[in-house]
Structure 1
Amino acid sequence: MARGRPREFDADEALDKAVLLFWRQGYEGTSLADLIAAMGITKPSLYAAFGNKEELFKKAVDRYAERRIAFLDKILSQPSSRCAIKGFLTMFTGAEAPDGTPCGCLMVQGALVCSPEGESVKDDLLSRRMSNAKRLCERLEQWKAAGDLPPDTDTESLGRYVITVANGLVVQATGGAKPEQLKAVVEQFMESWPGARSQAETATEIRAA
């Protein structure tokens, strides 16, 4: 039996390029022509390897989520909620972004503007964000049980508050706000955080006084 022709491109590398393009331009703002040019493949190859534009977008979000969630889990595993949440929010300021990595979050800005034809994409991203918010609230409950947060903390409302600030940082970063400006916003937010300050933070504040 004759074997099909082998792919003449690296599918993982092509998908990584699609991730960056969707991240920068969003789902609606990215055309097939844009994808073909950025990924360096032909239209038939794109369809054969990844499906249509919507299927490719979902594969790109899967790739993005794998890496982002692994990093998120590492941040949220810290025993101090204050340190963890500060690290979490800093993710969205662009301050820690490697060269060439877009600002913000693909799951937020990927579908900020969607036509009715893109509703399934918008719904998929909403479902993913809700899942991440649930993970955050569960972690807040763990910090509360461990005594890092006050016993009367409403972790669901606190989690929603954190996510709202994170989404705002994404929009601001995408709109051109500088990382140092957004890091100042994070610092201001952390002033109201109910979790206990670490000894290192307390010592730093004493030296600065």
Structure 2
Amino acid sequence: MVGRKRGFDRDDVLDQVTRAFWRNGFQATSVADLTGTTGVNPPSLYAAFGDKRTLFAEAVSRYQATYGAFTKRALEEEPTARHAVERILNEAAIEYTTPERPKGCLILSSPELHDLRDQARQAFEAKIRHDVATGALPAGADAHRLALFVAATVRGMSSLARDGATREELRDVARTALSAWPAPVP
């Protein structure tokens, strides 16, 4: 017996679900909200994605691979921590205020995602430590403290965007944060 064809585009539904969790968070988003947003009935939603927690995990993965991928790209592509942080903060100002999307960052606004936030901070710290080790930053630069500063700045920018801050206001935050960055070693 051939299985019945699904009556919806899985990727489109996953994007709608991702945006719903992004907008409201895991706890505040009910299955009824998800079915109302997507137009997919609960049995079909469960059959395609599993329970709410599994669906949230898949939505988070999708967010990381699409809307939130700019952070990982900057850390991988930029030659120094300073360049990566500058790019991340400037792109965050754009990404967190794009009109047709929920504001801010799904990862930063979801209490359940502490481990992912800590992994991001560790990635910042590793990039900074590399710069200290190679002499791009002064030997006395505190990689842990700088990584916490970057993480707090990005998280603050996400919160400000969710509260209605404009793109230009977030760019001002980015410029101010970068002014506190240690001078590179000549």
Q: Give the TM-score normalised by structure 2.
A: 0.89
Structure 1 unpaired stretches of 5+: 112-121, 199-209
User: Using a 3 Å threshold, how does the CA distance of structure 1 residues 177 and 28 change in structure 2: closer, same or farther?
Assistant: same
Q: Distance in 2 between matches of 1:158 and 1:31?
A: 38
AA of the residue aligned to 2:102: P
User: Using a 3 Å threshold, how does the CA distance of structure 1 residues 154 and 68 change in structure 2: closer, same or farther?
Assistant: farther
How far has the Cα of 1:99 moved from its partner? 4.2
User: Using a 3 Å threshold, how does the CA distance of structure 1 residues 174 and 70 change in structure 2: closer, same or farther?
Assistant: closer
Structure 2 unpaired stretches of 5+: none
**1:67 alignment counterpart:** 66
**2:36 alignment counterpart:** 37
167-176 or 66-75: bigger deviation: 66-75
Q: Distance in 2 between matches of 1:90 and 1:189?
A: 11
Q: Distance in 1 between matches of 2:102 and 2:70?
A: 16
**2:159 alignment counterpart:** 171
Return the index of the structure with the highest Cα Rg. Answer: 1
Q: Give the TM-score normalised by structure 1.
A: 0.80
Q: How does 1:64-143 map to 2 (within 5 A)?
A: 64-67=63-66, 70-76=69-75, 77-94=77-94, 98-111=98-111, 122=112, 125-143=113-131
User: Identity of counterpart residues, as a percentage?
Assistant: 34
Q: Distance in 2 between matches of 1:140 and 1:193?
A: 11
Match of 1:190 among 172, 178, 181: 178
AA of the residue aligned to 1:28: Q
User: Using a 3 Å threshold, how does the CA distance of structure 1 residues 81 and 195 change in structure 2: closer, same or farther?
Assistant: farther
How far has the Cα of 1:29 moved from its partner? 2.1
| Backbone CA RMSD of aligned residues | 2.1
Q: How many pairs are equivalent?
A: 185
User: Using a 3 Å threshold, how does the CA distance of structure 1 residues 96 and 21 change in structure 2: closer, same or farther?
Assistant: closer
